[in-house]
Amino acid sequence: MAHLPVLRIRREKEASIQRRHRWVFSGALLPVPEGLADGDTVHVATERGAILATGHYHPGGSIAVRILDFSETLIDSFFWSERIRQSAELRLAIGFPSKTTDCYRLINAEGDGLPGLIVDMYGSVAVIQTHTTGMARCVSDVAAAVDAQFKGKLTAIVHRDATATGQATRHLKGDSAEGTVHENGLVFHINWAEGQKTGFFLDQRDNRALLGSMSEGRDVLNAFCYTGGFSVYALANGAERVTSIDISERAMGMARRNHVANKLPNDRHELLCGDVFDHLADAKDHDLIILDPPAFAKHIKMRHNAVMAYKRLNLAALEKLRPGGLLFTFSCTQVVDRQQFEGAVLAAAIESGREVRVLQRMGHGPDHAVSIYHPEGDYLKGLVLHLA
């Protein structure tokens, strides 16, 4: 086994690794050997030098090491092929892909034991998104393992490097930038080269289906609609009318394409490009409102501002719902946990003075596996609320 630098941790911090949490914080480390670069592969050891884990070193932030394996492991082509194979077999076991759905998450970072790495499948296209320098440096090995898992049948492999300025995108195989996929039998155009995340919010699949089951006969407002996923489900399931709004003109263009691709009625769908808060101030009342905003905070120091933004947004929506109306409200802000999010919604409900009931709590689908040892990975939080 190739020699790797060894980082020792303080005795009182060993318990975290023994509990199989994949983050080693900078304060847990004893002085680090000189010469280490961002993304280097290292071993993590006890004060006495017993190897506990292998991971990627990232100086300068609060998370100093992201653990790839809880042993003295060689991170080579066999390691990557085994991890990709295990993840692919899990997805097959839970029904991905299927006859009606060919887009799903193959690798969900810590949930699949590979912190900093996302791999999403769009039919015959794999989109690899790296969130750490260590994973970005390993992308060729990851791509080779993914391609081998699908026996060379992938038409494109795209790398989106979230650590680069402006999220750099390059093709590792093929050159297609967009295409069509199916989700629960519906059709969606995806731009995996330039769209948000890897091109589509795959984590909302089950919640879109739930929304569809409650949409018949309702007047629906889809706020922060992005490419119109919730709107397509609502119209396909009998919504009387849908208004879709997003501030991005490009997203609205894709929402229009998705509407057309599913042969939905034009006279029941209005697409608006604009600010959601401004629209809610003047909007008419609706029977169902969807709030799926972008992350209001990406750093813990912005948590309070995010919580207040959720309260303000949900209050504005509650005031625009007719009696008997439904509110689907979400937070994808990792630094705001479920209790804090629901507290903000509660504060909005109290201020609205209306009778509000929780019908269901929502999260991401089973292809977005979450390690029980890493609760931080449970980032998507949602509520279905009913107003009397």
**53 close to 42: Cβ distance less than 8 angstroms:** no
Residues 153 and 245 placed together within one structural domain of the fold: no
Provide the domain count of the chain: 3
Q: Tell me, what CATH number does 210's domain have? A: 3.40.50.150
- The residue range of the domain holding 28 is 6-69
* pLDDT digit string, tens, across residues 69-126: 999 999 999 999 999 999 999 999 999 999 999 999 999 999 999 999 999 999 999 9
Query: The tokens 């409102």 sit on which residue?
Result: 289
Neighbouring-strand partners of residue 51: 45
Q: Which residue has the higher pLDDT, 195 or 317?
A: 317
Q: What's the rounded mean pLDDT across residues 373-382?
A: 95
Q: What's the rounded mean pLDDT across residues 310-325?
A: 97
* pLDDT digit string, tens, across residues 224-273: 999 999 999 999 999 999 999 999 999 999 999 999 999 999 999 999 99
CB atoms inside a 10 Å sphere around CB 234: 31
Residues 362 and 228 placed together within one structural domain of the fold: yes
Residues 56 and 13 placed together within one structural domain of the fold: yes
Residues 43 and 114 placed together within one structural domain of the fold: no
**Is the pLDDT at 163 greater than 60, yes or no?**
yes
Angle at CA 192, nearest 5°, toward 332 and 245?
55
Residue 196 maps to a domain: no
pLDDT at 165: 73
**Is the pLDDT at 2 greater than 80, yes or no?**
no
Residues 29 and 168 placed together within one structural domain of the fold: no
Q: Rounded mean pLDDT of the chain?
A: 96
CA within 13 Å, CB half, 87: 32
Residues 167 and 209 placed together within one structural domain of the fold: no
pLDDT at 244: 98
Band (140; pLDDT cuts 50, 70, 90):
very high
pLDDT at 263: 97
Q: What's the rounded mean pLDDT across residues 220-224?
A: 97
Residue 189 maps to a domain: no
Band (21; pLDDT cuts 50, 70, 90):
very high
Both tokens assigned to 163: 């650590």
Q: Tell me, what CATH number does 50's domain have? A: 2.30.130.10
Q: CB neighbours of 60 closer than 8 A, spacing ≥ 6?
A: 38
Band (1; pLDDT cuts 50, 70, 90):
low
pLDDT at 283: 85
Both tokens assigned to 85: 């194979």
Residue 1 maps to a domain: no
Pairing between β-strand 156-161 and β-strand 125-130 as defined by DSSP bridges: parallel
* pLDDT digit string, tens, across residues 273-286: 999 999 999 889 99
DSSP 29: B
Residues 180 and 229 placed together within one structural domain of the fold: no
* pLDDT digit string, tens, across residues 22-76: 999 999 999 999 999 999 999 999 999 999 999 999 999 999 999 999 999 999 9
Residue 190 maps to a domain: no
Both tokens assigned to 136: 């970005």
Residues 276 and 344 placed together within one structural domain of the fold: yes
Residues 23 and 46 placed together within one structural domain of the fold: yes
**255 close to 227: Cβ distance less than 8 angstroms:** yes
Residues 65 and 212 placed together within one structural domain of the fold: no
Residue 193 maps to a domain: no
Q: Concatenate the DSSP letters of all residues of 252-265 into one string.
A: HHHHHHHHHHTT--
| Rounded distance between C-alpha atoms, residue 55 and residue 39, angstroms | 9
Pairing between β-strand 219-223 and β-strand 286-291 as defined by DSSP bridges: parallel
pLDDT at 3: 82
